[in-house]
Structure 1
Amino acid sequence: MAVTASVERATEDRPRARLRRIAAFAFWLRRTALQSEAFLLPALIAASIFVGVIAHFHTVWAQPAMVTLPLLLGGFLLRFTAQLVLLVVSALVVVVDALTSHPARPTPGTVLLIGATALIVLVMSRGRVRLGVRGTRGESMLFDLRERLQAQGRVPQLPRGWHLELALKSAGGQSFAGDFLIAARSDQDGVDGWAADMPAEQSKGCGRLQLGLVDVSGKGLQAGTRALLLSGAFGGLLGSVPPSQFLAAANRYLLRQGWEEGFATAVHLVIDLETGDYECYSAGHPPIAHLAAGSGRWSLRETPGPVLGVLSDVEYTPTRGRLEYGDGLMLFTDGMIEQPGQDLSVGLDRLLGAAGTLQTKGFGGGAARVVDTVARKTNDDRALVLVWRTRHGL
């Protein structure tokens, strides 16, 4: 009986062992073979020659134009010099087929197709050479960078009664934008430098939420690369320096970059999660809006301050207020209020009018609703942040 059971277990394990070997081979193929030109270039050359041979003897099922398939794969997986070698081999395959075929081939359309494919592949390759990557790693790198940019704007978990929503849309619907949000929260006294700016009796036991909404000059992909760099730098500063010094430190960092188009606007909001008191610092940014639940009205809180990256040795003074239960704050970038040929006051009135429905329809999902209502078709990056306070459990 024991021998029979062992044989049965061995029989059951064979398919699993076979699957493990197949998975190991696939992993090796993806991580080693497909990243090695010593393997890829001979394989693609052999594929081009094989296509030429099949096209020569089987004209119904294969045509010389099929050499474009190895060329396309080479455009994604090979370096520029290796692609030139593959292109020469593919051209020789087409020439040999033309000289040995009766009637003569390829047709002018086939030559045009192969030439256009080769041109596209070489242009793609030049871009990858400039980027310093090959294969699909360039796209995966950009995907990773986009994820890192979005991670900077992930808001830490808030205590009960506090809520936050972000709606961010880029110009043209692209993945990168010049607007971004950074956030940090501290639960211990003095961890973010706030307590050092406050009297001891006020700082004791405080939890702080800091938000930074930044609008980099330009829009879409043009501003996306600068926004990526600044989000990492500003995210490191947020919570590491006292709130009163954050925008000044960000301004000094931006000045050191020496960009020709290097300015940015920003609004920095610091909220005491115990009392609802807040401070708002602005660097050339549009005003924030405060909803008072008692009156049901939105009011603008202007906070003057120079834009980042233009002047040195500047100081930023805050505007102070308090969020009571039912109150809300709205932070936004200029893409929400700017319209060609219109004054900013018109855009502000339109935005506050759309935000007036939040009390009746609810704040949940309100950020996206306001953006779609006010700036759905705007050809600019736009971002809107809603922060509101409710009683515990609501």
Structure 2
Amino acid sequence: MIAAKYKDMLGAKSVIRELSEYAAVRGKEIGYENVFDYSLGNPSVPTPEKFKKAMVDLLEQCDPMEIHGYSPSLGIPSVKEAVAHSLNKRFGMKYTFKHIFMTSGAAGALAHAVRCVTVPGDEVLTFAPFFPEYHPYVDLSGAVLKVVPPNTEAFQVNFECFEEMLTDKVMAVLINTPNNPSGVVYTRETLEKLALIMREKSEEYGHDIYLISDEPYREIIFAGVENTYVSKVYDNTISCYSYSKSLSIPGERIGYIAVNPACSDAETIINMCGQISRGIGHNCPSSIVQLAVAQVLYDTSELSVYETNMNLLYEELISLGLACIKPGGTFYIFPKALEEDAKVFCQKAKNYDLILVPGDSFGCPGYFRMAYCMDTEKVKRSLPALRRFVETEYR
């Protein structure tokens, strides 16, 4: 007998992936350049030349066993040391290599982090709007993901509902800032209030409540926006990072866990990750990619195009009368649809070759996401289609 749990998941495929697949098929019919595909968050700017050079140099100059063999289960020590040093230099932390675990992207990091601090039946809280894949990341560990309703005024934390839901069953709180899908960056005030409540509840319940911080968009921050490093605010923080967005290398599947040195059992948590890997198959990310990333820790792709695209879309959306909170980072924007059912709204948009993602799976019915990681020229060409859509269907 096959596993019913995973068979049942076949009926609940990712809406984002389904829309991306539709866009690809439509592109074959009319040319993909004529499909305004805002579905998938796939970086659209080139990988830094320095990363490419690092890969080439490693291939040409290093012992093949070093770059193609298994890495140690906790990651290559020199890479871990370099990551720790870079975080200390940038954010004033005190990491050592003993606080870093190399992972297969942020997904691998989150899979490990949840298993480190929960057992089956424990609860993990997250805040809408949230990345839909949090459900399989958490639920398939045996823990239960509970979603705090959104604060739609600013997409900061809904503290009233959070405090009601923060029971003694909650062992971890999962946050994502800068946020997918809203593009909102949690303010320092939000993070400090969150940390205060979690400290008080940890003391009241007699157990640690861990903060799992999902940070793949940490480097995509727009002008004038402060992005507070979460571990500076709360000791029991496990940071989950990916180089997919900052270096435009999502296919390389490389990231890390960084456990705050002030966290309870910090070094033990890292060592536990090596054991968790044995069970979930996320062990030993690519050796050559680990070594290459270590050479570009202070570099990013040219990320400014995302802010350019955001401003173009934000101004157009506002001019068309759509309510929208201006993103502070990422390459997502999350406007309110012009009718109650965002699924119907997005279905109508397809008639104008606009591929938009309804907000229902993000925990925010009535909203929709646009992933504007595409050439600015194409964003500009999409604006007349957006205008035609709104004026034809809703004027």
TM-score normalised to the size of structure 1?
Answer: 0.26
| Bigger proportion of residues as strand | 1
Q: Which has the higher contact order (CA 8 A, sep 6+)?
A: 2
